[in-house]
Amino acid sequence: MKVANKKVTAERLVRDALEKAKHFEDYHIFTFINEEGALKKAREIDQKIARGEKVGRLAGVPYALKDNFLSTEGETTASAHILQGFNSPVTATSVAKLEAEGAIMIGRTNLDAFAHGSSTENSYFGPTLNSHDKQRVAGGSSGGSAVAVALDIVEFATGTDTGGSVRQPASFNGIYGLKPTYGTISRYGVVAMASSTDCIGFFTKTPEDMDLLMSVASGQDSKDMTTLPDYYNDSVYKKGPAKVGIIKDFDNDSVHPEIRKALKNKVELLKSKGHEIIELEMPALKYGLAAYYILVPAELCSNLSRHDGIRYGFRSEKSKDLDALYENTRNEGFMPENKRRIMIGNFVLSSGFYDAYFLKAAKARTLIVQEYARAFSKVDYILTPVSPNPAFKLGEKVDDPVAMYLEDVMSVSLNLAGVPGLAIPAGETKEGLSLGLQLVGPRRSDKALIEFSKELI
């Protein structure tokens, strides 16, 4: 990525990014443009460079921030009406780390409200358009971030991946998107969806950029007790022939033929480079989607209970008493998909149904964890599609939640198991839509995934 130095100023890099953001306004990528703040920071970096002072590894690099990361620049809304007007007093640890190295946030990006969705159509502000076809969805929930990188507005963007929200939009827009091992990057200061599967990740145009961002952002944080001690910067990647698994259970007619062809092409490429391909049977993965859509609503309904109109953002003023204030604020402030999930979550946690749903899903999650452990005793990596279809048409699935959930069938099991996945570009369909695959590895193999992905170019 282009970093500011004696030849190119940070101000130039930031101005270019701001101009491109304006040029692509109709894609509806940003919820906030940080023009003044970004230019001020750029000038400070340029002054440092002029004085010969040391600057960070990301000096002057413009980036886009998914609008569910808290920082003191701009409102943090998570694309939800209920958070409109919320100015965070704190900054997310990941944001602080990026900015300490000189990265400059030029705008906050659109998402499905509270990251609930697979298309960015659940945003209160309306959908983001796909970078390859304006009639189609950007993917979700981090749709704005993916399109900001794909259209080359910024060098990188942040995302969150609770069940695919980095990998799927990355693959719908032909770029790299990493969901790291659970606990690699601090979640402190990021609007919580499901605390046991939420991961912070990035969108980039190259594996090299991904590596740089991971080395900056990973590591233990006393403000997030689930973070792992920094393993990323100590990881050593051993080059050489690898064993790569492909999942037989995913090779069927429910997967778009051009995605299956893209996978075959990459398998041939790996073989030609001397890697061994091993077919895996992973029957437990078929429980992934059902388990995810029980466990995640259960967690997110607890996390969203803090939004009551008292503490953050929007408050419905037409209420006659306190109960009505809670009800009206939530009713007006949440999107339909948020409400659906809050209801599912409360249902599966209720005393009469806990054993039948939540407990069973928790057991299925254990089976999935064991399934991945078994697979990684046989192979170094797994290569699978990210989703069964390329980007679908705007409006095609938004009124059919189950059809939308089915798009997540290949991404959610990684989050349930806590293993990392890197979405990689894998060509285009005949119509020019981008195709993506994901490279999956055991926990803490993030560095190896990034390095090994270079074999697939």
Active site residues: 66, 141, 165
- Beta bridge mates, 278: 245
Out of 62, 74, 107, 117, name the contact with ligand GLN by CB under 6 A: 117
From the list 116-124, 370-378, 384-392, 416-424, the region that binds ligand GLN by CB under 6 A is 116-124
User: What 3-state DSSP class applies to 360?
Assistant: helix
418 is an interface residue for ligand GLN by CB under 6 A: no
**Taking the C-alpha atoms of 236, 230, 380 and 416 in order, what is their torsion angle to the nearest 10 degrees?**
-170
162 is an interface residue for ligand GLN by CB under 6 A: yes
CB 388 within 8 A of CB 406: yes
Residue numbers 295-324 binding ligand GLN by CB under 6 A: 296
Which of 107/117 has CB closer to ligand GLN? 117
Number of residues that bind ligand GLN (CB under 6 A): 14
Least Å distance between CB 381 and ligand GLN? 22
What's the gap between Cα 33 and its chain centre?
A: 20
410 is an interface residue for ligand GLN by CB under 6 A: no
Least Å distance between CB 361 and ligand GLN? 14
CB 57 within 8 A of CB 43: no
CB 172 within 8 A of CB 425: no
- Look at strands 176-179 and 421-428 and give their pairing: antiparallel
Least Å distance between CB 57 and ligand GLN? 28
**Taking the C-alpha atoms of 21, 23, 27 and 30 in order, what is their torsion angle to the nearest 10 degrees?**
20
From the list 114-122, 364-372, 373-381, 426-434, the region that binds ligand GLN by CB under 6 A is 114-122
CA distance 228 to 219: 6
Half-sphere exposure of 248 (CA within 13 A, CB side): 8
Closest residue to ligand GLN, Cβ-based? 165
Token reading at 115: 């990251």
Least Å distance between CB 408 and ligand GLN? 5
From the list 11-19, 155-163, 183-191, 247-255, the region that binds ligand GLN by CB under 6 A is 155-163
Which of 280/391 has CB closer to ligand GLN? 391
CA distance 188 to 414: 21
CA distance 72 to 108: 12
338 is an interface residue for ligand GLN by CB under 6 A: no
From the list 69-77, 160-168, 183-191, 373-381, the region that binds ligand GLN by CB under 6 A is 160-168
Least Å distance between CB 203 and ligand GLN? 13
Token reading at 453: 């992905």
Which of 303/316 has CB closer to ligand GLN? 303
Out of 92, 105, 149, 193, name the contact with ligand GLN by CB under 6 A: 193
Residues in CB range of 41: below 8 A, 6 or more apart:
10, 14, 99, 104
Distances (CA, A) of 323 to 157, 310, 318, 400: 40, 12, 12, 32
Least Å distance between CB 398 and ligand GLN? 12
444 is an interface residue for ligand GLN by CB under 6 A: no
Least Å distance between CB 397 and ligand GLN? 11
161 is an interface residue for ligand GLN by CB under 6 A: yes
Out of 48, 66, 97, 116, name the contact with ligand GLN by CB under 6 A: 116
What's the gap between Cα 306 and its chain centre?
A: 23
Residue numbers 258-277 binding ligand GLN by CB under 6 A: none
Least Å distance between CB 122 and ligand GLN? 8
213 is an interface residue for ligand GLN by CB under 6 A: no
Amino acid identity at 423: A
H/E segment holding residue 423: strand 421-428
Which of 176/231 has CB closer to ligand GLN? 176
* Edge-first strand listing for the sheet containing 156-161: 30-33, 104-109, 62-66, 156-161, 199-204, 176-179, 421-428, 434-440, 381-385, 243-247, 276-280
Binding site for ligand GLN (CB under 6 A): 115-118, 141, 160-165, 193, 296, 408
